[in-house]
Chain A
């Protein structure tokens, strides 16, 4: 493990911002810290950077405990959510700052800054001040500035939050390629699931100061380890009484039964279907076009939940009575989660 957090605790007054946090990150990986607002993501990042001191526990980078090493000597690149560009310095001076502090010679600084400016595609903007740049351009300057001193670790706090959707898309891809190309180890904070899935090699899900689960995006999506991740990840709906749906095993004690749109199959009365005997009837409540699919909410056995249909399939209408078949359900009890498969499918696997 290149970066490791061991039993990290951090409180602000009586509020526990980090509660026994443990995780490890391998070299060269880009990891997402994903969690709701206030779950302690920024706190974790600031502790790794040395801007905040943990109350207890160890932070290890490249085999060394860095708890007592000040931020200025950890050699970590940090991109702030607000970018924190130096307002009174030009783009060039912003990027050069970390190099000038190291007292490198002018020639070297010039070359490195020019190289980075080219990397972020801002040639010709060197003399501008941050206030004269667009949000996306500022973001890239912040990125270049953090990379200038060749850090081995790059931390990014919601790097795309202040950027509009289209530019964000481009920047995400750009960031991912760049980090892999440079071979640095990166951690970025986000509370956008799509962003985490799309950009990261690995996701660490945080909640109330704790790490709920970590793993590859697909792993967390398929096998949520806790009640929180099962409900947090993806679009989820809750079933009031899952036993009303046919052919599931009975579980005596549970708190919630959760379904995702991918778990639900909606069939028109006129269509043929495989699991007719295990389907139940439902009423279509809303139909919405989602760009690449149709999102439908149905009410069925007293619960309302979402499902998707492909654009190729015949359209359904609001008010229509349809057959609803559920492939699988997450059952939560306390902190634990259990996956129930519809027994009608038996050994067949469902592609989600």
Chain B
């Protein structure tokens, strides 16, 4: 994901140094080469390896590997968890960002800190917290059992974990935009007789549209790749509670390298798609911002 950024940074860095040591071409060449080699070793090579390994035995085994029922169900579960996480976090993110930026209330600082919690807590620990909260040793377990709603080692657990780890992504993107904008325009709209939802749709949403989209893209990317927390809550029930990253791990553990790489390639493709969407969103957003 950071390929583009790295390149930009290194290029700016070299021009600056180049200006100071005018004429020293060697420095420029060395720095550029180091950056390129670094990028190649860290990013391009692994990606090529994944694709190469996936197709090593030819197209047919590749297609067989990715059309395996377990893999397909893992893909579906990953998409399901991602979509739900994006929807929930969009709604939550909008509400939280709105509340934080537009109102004065007690405990506001605490709320801001809490929103960041999921990125500061290790995903494994997050998973364990949910196991303790909803598992057999929990005091609410009998209640969950009586309504036949299983969280641990079941799909709801996967979704819960995914929502948790992607929690801050959307609100964090919207918040600065809302804060910079202030409340004047909303107040002006209210004074002209507009109601809450009209104000949101006509005045607030146009402001945060691009930040929101960007947040959704980031959230989706993170949701698809989530491994740690999901791994703890999943129980690895093949075809039931296994997501794509878990499926890769399982195949890898069974020494099925080619299928493991084939499944990984799906994730790579999804990542590339998200990267492209991100660039487009960023580009359009920036152009709008400049106007």
Q: State the A residues within 8 Å of B (CB).
A: 49-51, 70-78, 80, 82, 84-89, 97-98, 101-102, 129, 131, 145, 148-149
A6 CA to B47 CA in the complex, in Å?
74
A77 CA to B195 CA in the complex, in Å?
16
Contact: B195 with A72, CB < 8 Å?
A: yes
Contact: A149 with B207, CB < 8 Å?
A: no
B203 touches which of A70, A78, A86 (Cβ 8 Å): A86
User: Which of B188, B191, B194, B207 is packed against the most chain A CB atoms within 10 Å?
Assistant: B191
Interface presence of B187 (CB below 8 A): yes
Contact: B188 with A71, CB < 8 Å?
A: no
Contact: B195 with A84, CB < 8 Å?
A: no
Quote the shortest CB–CB distance from A64 to chain B (angstroms): 17
With known contacts A82-B184, A84-B185, A87-B207, A51–B291 Cβ distance under 8 A: no
Number of interface residues of B (CB under 8 A): 17
With known contacts A84-B184, A87-B207, A73–B191 Cβ distance under 8 A: no
A71 CA to B194 CA in the complex, in Å?
10
A165 CA to B1 CA in the complex, in Å?
52
Contact: B193 with A98, CB < 8 Å?
A: yes
With known contacts A86-B203, A87-B207, A131-B291, A71–B185 Cβ distance under 8 A: no
Contact: A80 with B291, CB < 8 Å?
A: no
Q: Which 3 A-B pairs have the closest CB atoms?
A: A98-B192, A84-B184, A88-B206
Interface presence of B138 (CB below 8 A): no
User: Which of A49, A86, A102 is packed against the most chain B CB atoms within 10 Å?
Assistant: A86
For A87, what are the chain B residues with a Cβ–Cβ distance below 8 Å? 185, 206-207
Q: State the B residues within 8 Å of A (CB).
A: 184-185, 187-195, 198, 202-203, 206-207, 291
Contact: B190 with A84, CB < 8 Å?
A: no
Contact: B195 with A71, CB < 8 Å?
A: no
Contact: A97 with B184, CB < 8 Å?
A: no
The majority secondary structure among interface residues of chain A is loop
Contact: A86 with B193, CB < 8 Å?
A: no
User: Which of B192, B195, B207 is packed against the most chain A CB atoms within 10 Å?
Assistant: B192
Besides the known contacts A89-B202, A97-B189, A149-B192, 14 further A-B residue pairs in the complex with CB atoms under 8 A apart: A51-B191, A72-B193, A73-B193, A78-B188, A78-B191, A80-B188, A84-B185, A86-B203, A87-B185, A88-B206, A88-B207, A98-B192, A101-B189, A102-B193
Q: Give B205's nearest chain A residue, CB to CB.
A: A88
For B291, what are the chain A residues with a Cβ–Cβ distance below 8 Å? 129, 131
Contact: B207 with A101, CB < 8 Å?
A: no
Q: Give A74's nearest chain B residue, CB to CB.
A: B191
For A84, what are the chain B residues with a Cβ–Cβ distance below 8 Å? 184-185, 187-188
For A51, what are the chain B residues with a Cβ–Cβ distance below 8 Å? 187, 190-191
For A74, what are the chain B residues with a Cβ–Cβ distance below 8 Å? 191
Contact: A101 with B198, CB < 8 Å?
A: yes
A129 CA to B291 CA in the complex, in Å?
9
Q: Give A77's nearest chain B residue, CB to CB.
A: B191
For B185, what are the chain A residues with a Cβ–Cβ distance below 8 Å? 84-87
A101 CA to B190 CA in the complex, in Å?
10
A344 CA to B195 CA in the complex, in Å?
67
Contact: B191 with A76, CB < 8 Å?
A: yes
A84 CA to B190 CA in the complex, in Å?
12
Quote the shortest CB–CB distance from A10 to chain B (angstroms): 15
For B190, what are the chain A residues with a Cβ–Cβ distance below 8 Å? 51, 70-72
For A50, what are the chain B residues with a Cβ–Cβ distance below 8 Å? 191
